[in-house]
Amino acid sequence: MLREIKLATLRLLKGAGIFDLVGDSRWRRQRLLILCYHGTSLDDEHRWRPGLYMDPAVLEQRLEMLKHRNYNVLPLGESLQKLRAGTLPPRSVAITFDDGTYDFYKRAYPIVKKYGFPVTVYLTTYYSDLQRPVFNLITSYMLWLKRGQVILDGRELGLTSPLDLRTEAARHGIVQNLMDLAEREAMTGSEKDLLAARLAEFLGVDYKALVAKRVVQIMNASELKEVSEGGVDVQLHTHRHRTPEDEALFRREIHENRERIQALISKSATHFCYPSGVYRSTFLPWLAQEQVLSATTCDAGLATRESEILLLPRYVDTQSRTATDFESWLCGVGDLLAVRRKARQKYIPYQTELQP
Ligand SMILES: [Zn+2]
């Protein structure tokens, strides 16, 4: 109901010309909208995780709107310099994709190229090296493929309770149990992949076919080289998609991530994105010491000159957002109407999803 009221309000404002008025205002000109995307479906992933994956047709509609409504899409680094200097062009937008999944290469990149927009990919590197599906995601995806079933005995997989695949919560519980099992046994990435293969066999899913399709995998060296040479800006997202609270471990994540990116594309990465949007104030001096120039969160908002450069807000665009909601954020109305909550970080979708 609330959602409907909000949409009706937005339509009304749009119909009254308020979107254009705000979009062309001095207020909007002093602000930058940083868009955040994750996966673009190879197949049906947006039905499995509408908060994480988007149908390529929807992504194309978004970029079409940017073009059609005369938004100025700038490279991330340049847009932040201009934000600071107060020299942003009207209707400024920067586009970012988190994680660097293979589906970016296969689905999003051709669309991005078609529109000629500069984009940044925040790359997590562990699974780029390993070249196997991300364990937590592939197990979750396979359980979803078999949704509706109840399997009475999970002992073969080291799980005791019956496997109830009928609800998202129950499936999430099984993924959690598998992760705990992998942790207890101190499994390596390859061992976890064998566990995922055993789960597939148990469920009657063709694992080889999923691996060959590259579902929930990260781009490999040649794909990364190709997108980087094609103008995609590759930046930091930690090596293992985690932000340890211990300074040495946190900084190791940045070092390893940066080293891998340097080795892969021969460029130095200086912009950072918090995995799963999780941050703490203690991280800021550590990032500054690592010469990180900017860091983005998943907190909704437009960035201003006063924004903390290591806590920049973004608009997380997903399959479930309507075109009107998206457009309201482009022009700035969405930001004006947003309810600011004291406790931020409400976007913590799958905190550990991409961890090895
Ligand atoms: Zn991520």
* Cβ atoms of 233 and 76 closer than 8 Å: yes
For residue 122, the CA-to-ligand 1 centroid distance in Å is: 8
* Cβ atoms of 98 and 273 closer than 8 Å: yes
> Which tens digit of pLDDT belongs to each residue from 203-252?
999 999 999 999 999 999 999 999 999 999 999 999 999 999 999 999 99
For residue 16, the CA-to-ligand 1 centroid distance in Å is: 38
For residue 273, the CA-to-ligand 1 centroid distance in Å is: 8
For residue 157, the CA-to-ligand 1 centroid distance in Å is: 28
* Cβ atoms of 236 and 293 closer than 8 Å: no
Helical ranges in the chain per DSSP H: 2-15, 18-23, 26-29, 45-48, 56-68, 76-85, 102-103, 109-115, 126-130, 135-145, 168-184, 189-203, 207-213, 221-229, 247-265, 283-289, 323-331, 333-337
Task: State the sign of the Cα–Cα–Cα–Cα dihedral 287, 291, 294, 298.
Answer: negative
For residue 242, the CA-to-ligand 1 centroid distance in Å is: 9
Which protein residues have a CB closer than 5 Å to ligand 1 (ion)? 98-99, 275
Nearest to 300 by CA among 269, 283, 282, 325: 325
Taking residue 156's Cβ as centre, other Cβ atoms within 10 Å add up to 11
Please name the residues in contact with 150: beta carbons below 8 A apart, sequence gap of 6 or more: 162, 163, 164, 165, 166
Counting every residue written for the chain, the total comes to: 356
Scan for tokens 């669309």, then name that residue. 111
Low-confidence ranges of the chain (pLDDT < 50): 342-352
For residue 237, the CA-to-ligand 1 centroid distance in Å is: 7
For residue 14, the CA-to-ligand 1 centroid distance in Å is: 33
For residue 15, the CA-to-ligand 1 centroid distance in Å is: 36
| pLDDT given for residue 164 in this prediction | 83
User: How many angstroms separate the CA atoms of 46 and 62, rounded?
Assistant: 16
User: How many angstroms separate the CA atoms of 154 and 160, rounded?
Assistant: 6
For residue 13, the CA-to-ligand 1 centroid distance in Å is: 34
Composition of the chain by helix, strand, coil, percent to 5 = 50, 15, 40
For residue 102, the CA-to-ligand 1 centroid distance in Å is: 13
For residue 220, the CA-to-ligand 1 centroid distance in Å is: 17
For residue 194, the CA-to-ligand 1 centroid distance in Å is: 23
* Cβ atoms of 137 and 353 closer than 8 Å: yes
User: Pairing between strand 294-296 and 33-37?
Assistant: unpaired
For residue 355, the CA-to-ligand 1 centroid distance in Å is: 9
| pLDDT given for residue 4 in this prediction | 86
For residue 227, the CA-to-ligand 1 centroid distance in Å is: 18
For residue 278, the CA-to-ligand 1 centroid distance in Å is: 10
Q: Give the tokens for residue 260.
A: 């891998």
| pLDDT given for residue 17 in this prediction | 93
Question: Whole-model pTM?
Answer: 0.93
| pLDDT given for residue 77 in this prediction | 98
Taking residue 256's Cβ as centre, other Cβ atoms within 10 Å add up to 16
> Which tens digit of pLDDT belongs to each residue from 291-315?
999 999 999 999 999 999 999 999 9
